[in-house]
Amino acid sequence: MRALRVYVKIGVTLILAVLVMILLVPIIMRNAMSSYTYISLDDVPQTEIAIIPGASVIGKRPSPILADRADMAIRLYLKGKVSKILVTGDNAQLNYDEVTPVRKYLIDAGIPARDIFLDHAGFDTYSSMYRTIKIFGASSATIVTQDFHLPRALYIARHLGLDTYGVVANGQGGFINGYLREIPASVKALWDLTLYRQSKYLGDTIPLSGDGQVTWY
């Protein structure tokens, strides 16, 4: 009986240690990426592209959280901080498209069509950053997303070798839920980076020096 209690204590201790380690992952990522994160556009270094990570759409319009990301990318473009905008998201099914509504939103805001690139296979943050490098050949980028998501996106991009900075977009996407989702998502990101997971879909390279309209379909 005494031996059983010892094993139970060891088991509980190990479980608690693992839980603490899991909880620390997003905190460590946030601290590591703090020097690459900006709130003021005036301070953001100039980069090749702004990356708008995918989020939910409502009908054929961006959700508020996605529109906030697009608005920040528009501001970066108009301020001359980026010369291209990459909209990345999930378009795996004909009846679900996260990128085309954002493209229309950008066009309505006056962004030139040739400077808008779409990545229809950005199924998760890792895939989006991986494809930004492998498909679009980007060497530098500014990610625009909400505070809960930005440290992980930056951590992935920079560890894949992309010279990346981040700007915090407005909106929180459920606030507490957003930060809670980052706990398992951050652990998965570490796993993906460790394995250097390849994106599910690759294909021909699409240079950002060309016309972004070739990516519209």
- Give the integer Cα–Cα distance in Å for 213 and 173: 30
- Give the integer Cα–Cα distance in Å for 27 and 205: 35
Half-sphere exposure of 49 (CA within 13 A, CB side): 27
Could you tell me which of 55, 42, 46, 23 has the C-alpha nearest to residue 150? 55
Q: What is the pLDDT of residue 129?
A: 96
Q: Collect all residues with Cβ–Cβ distance below 8 Å to 166 and sequence separation of at least 6.
A: 33, 36, 37, 38, 142, 143, 144, 145, 150, 151, 153, 154
pTM: 0.89
Q: What is the pLDDT of residue 56?
A: 87
Alpha helices per DSSP H over the chain: 2-33, 64-78, 100-108, 125-134, 150-159, 176-195
Could you tell me which of 92, 110, 121 has the C-alpha nearest to residue 204? 121
- Give the integer Cα–Cα distance in Å for 128 and 177: 22
Q: What is the pLDDT of residue 89?
A: 86
Render the burial of 167-206: b for 16+ CB within 10 Å, e for the rest. Answer: bbbebbbeeeebbebbeebbebbbebeeeeeebeeeeeeb
Which sequence spans correspond to the domains of the chain? 2-215
Low-confidence ranges of the chain (pLDDT < 70): 1-9, 11-12, 92-94, 172-175
Structure tokens at 159: 């560890």
Could you tell me if 66 and 26 are in contact, meaning their C-beta atoms sit under 8 angstroms apart? no
Structure tokens at 148: 């809960």
- Give the integer Cα–Cα distance in Å for 150 and 85: 17
Task: Please tell me the CATH code under which domain 2-215 is placed.
Answer: 3.40.50.620
Task: Read off the DSSP letter of residue 124.
Answer: S
Q: What is the pLDDT of residue 11?
A: 66
